[in-house]
Amino acid sequence: MQWETVIGLEIHAQLATKSKIFSGASTAYGAAPNTQACAIDLGLPGVLPVVNEQAIAMAVRFGLAIDASITPRSVFARKNYFYPDLPKGYQISQYEAPIVARGRITIDVDGQPRTINITRAHLEEDAGKSLHEDFHGASGIDLNRAGTPLLEIVSEPEMRSAAEAAAYMREIHRLVRYLGICDGNMQEGSFRCDANVSVRPQGTEAFGTRAEIKNLNSFRFIERAIEFEVERQIEIIENGGKVVQETRLYDPDKDETRPLRSKEDAHDYRYFPDPDLLPVAVSAAYVDVIRATMPELPRAKIARFVKTLELSHDDAAVLANDPDTAAYFERAIAAQPASAKQAANWITGELFAALNRDNLAIGASPIAPEQMGQLVQRIVDGTLSGKLGKQVFQTMWSSGRDADDIIEAEGMRQVSDTHLIEVAVREILEQNPDQIAQFRAGKDKVLGFLVGQVMKKTGGKANPALVNQLIKAALAN
């Protein structure tokens, strides 16, 4: 029996607003419990919600990035249920008229592009947190997070493998960071993914019963969790059983999914438009204003890097994967775009290594992008040898000084004066008659030794290509 996997993903991206979606409390991460839960977030008697303009703007940005239509009059609805992290006993969400309607996104699976449709994206408020450490038989509730804006992004159930699901998750993750609407920090819970997984016999149309796996917070986990779940479901069906529609959690230590306890039978959320809020009008003019501020999106950027800057697809993807890295790269080559390839090498090589070693994000790099650009340029224009370049890089890293500064101060200018090198070449050849004989006898490798000697003689500053050339010329005589 051939089985087909059917996966749909629901992603909750915490929007990077300063204040909450319906109140003026701060959304900053890490505050002491309940110090960022104002009267509105606590659901005190008599309080009322007021919509944060930036949440609307961010949702519209996302909608434009996935080619979706923006709903001109969208409505906030109450989703009613009881839970301690939900102070009002309802969550303000969107039901019938979500702000972003159907859109789509292209993902890469095994190097092949594939389009996944997105059913909708809507705004809602986040809940608080239950702390699971035991307060002598009680749970402690922190409502700082209550009211933080979320964008819930719902895909069509079009993914057919765990790898596709992971690719989709990565693409959305990159996109929301590019748009500046979400910091994508999965450890802190800014980006959460639920997967709806079912199987059906290959070639059939009807959907099988699905299980929902909640709170997958890493790309690796999502693949593993889905793979496990698919196998689990197939085994159940092949043994004559029925898959139960339920909510499950992935346990990374045991590498398995298990049902969530205490989730009750199907909720009746009794959705209705929130009477404390009026419909949100998003005009075409407003959408145009947002559209004008849209950044170049990652796939377009990669394509441009490959086409215009002649980077390899791999290099382009690495540089464009992160908006900060892409920005760094683009600033580095701004003055000299012709050195793009070398800049790519230096950034993905030396710079990344140093950042990793010192555990820094590229935004905290002690070498500014323009400085990096200057260093690369000096190597490209022959002022600096590659080898000395690495030394200069380390000095720049620890001192923050410009490459030109260091080159001057240390006298590291690569020597490309033919006459000077010829002098050194003559000396070295005089000192190494055996090697000359070996070379003339056919041992080409000796050339490298001789080049090295000349490099040493010139304090590493001679232009190696020129040295090579001049030695060969001298030996030819």
CA distances from 181 to 69, 101, 344, 449 (A): 18, 18, 27, 56
Structure tokens given for 52 = 């944060």
CB of 236 to another protein, least distance (A): 24
Residues interacting with another protein, by CB under 8 A? 17-19, 23-26, 32-39, 42-56, 73, 78, 80, 82-84, 87-90, 130-132, 134-135, 137-143, 260-262, 268, 270-273, 275-281
CB of 399 to another protein, least distance (A): 38
CB of 258 to another protein, least distance (A): 11
β-bridge partners, 70:
100
Q: Which residues of 428-462 are buried (b: 16+ CB within 10 A; e: fewer)?
A: bbeebeebbebbeeeeeebbeebbebbbebbebbb
Task: State which residue, 20 or 378, has the beta carbon closest to another protein.
Answer: 20
Task: State which residue, 183 or 404, has the beta carbon closest to another protein.
Answer: 183
CB of 7 to another protein, least distance (A): 24
Q: Are 145 and 111 in contact (CB under 8 A)?
A: no
Instruction: Residue 278: count other Cβ atoms within 10 Å of its Cβ.
Output: 12
Contacts of 289 (CB under 8 A, 6+ apart): none
Task: State which residue, 6 or 56, has the beta carbon closest to another protein.
Answer: 56
Nearest to 210 by CA among 161, 253, 157, 260: 157
Task: State which residue, 53 or 235, has the beta carbon closest to another protein.
Answer: 53
Task: State which residue, 79 or 461, has the beta carbon closest to another protein.
Answer: 79
CB of 343 to another protein, least distance (A): 36
Q: Are 412 and 461 in contact (CB under 8 A)?
A: yes
Q: Are 5 and 160 in contact (CB under 8 A)?
A: yes
CA–CA dist 226, 213 (Å, integer): 8
Task: State which residue, 271 or 352, has the beta carbon closest to another protein.
Answer: 271
CB of 94 to another protein, least distance (A): 12
CA–CA dist 366, 378 (Å, integer): 19
DSSP string, 290-314: HHHTPPPPHHHHHHHHHHHS---HH
Task: State which residue, 142 or 158, has the beta carbon closest to another protein.
Answer: 142
Task: State which residue, 268 or 430, has the beta carbon closest to another protein.
Answer: 268
Structure tokens given for 184 = 């994508």
Task: State which residue, 40 or 105, has the beta carbon closest to another protein.
Answer: 40
Q: Are 148 and 181 in contact (CB under 8 A)?
A: no
Task: State which residue, 73 or 443, has the beta carbon closest to another protein.
Answer: 73
β-bridge partners, 90:
80
Instruction: Residue 346: count other Cβ atoms within 10 Å of its Cβ.
Output: 22
Phi, psi of 203 (to 5 degrees): 95, -15
Task: State which residue, 24 or 448, has the beta carbon closest to another protein.
Answer: 24
CB of 246 to another protein, least distance (A): 14
CB of 277 to another protein, least distance (A): 5
Structure tokens given for 359 = 């555990």
Collapsing DSSP to helix, strand or coil, 185 comes out as: coil
CB of 248 to another protein, least distance (A): 12
Contacts of 65 (CB under 8 A, 6+ apart): 175, 178, 179, 294, 297
Nearest to 100 by CA among 330, 295, 329, 287: 287
Q: Are 9 and 195 in contact (CB under 8 A)?
A: yes
CB of 237 to another protein, least distance (A): 28
CB of 283 to another protein, least distance (A): 10
Task: State which residue, 268 or 434, has the beta carbon closest to another protein.
Answer: 268
Whose tokens are 């070449």? That residue is 425
Radius of gyration of the chain (CA): 30
CB of 293 to another protein, least distance (A): 15
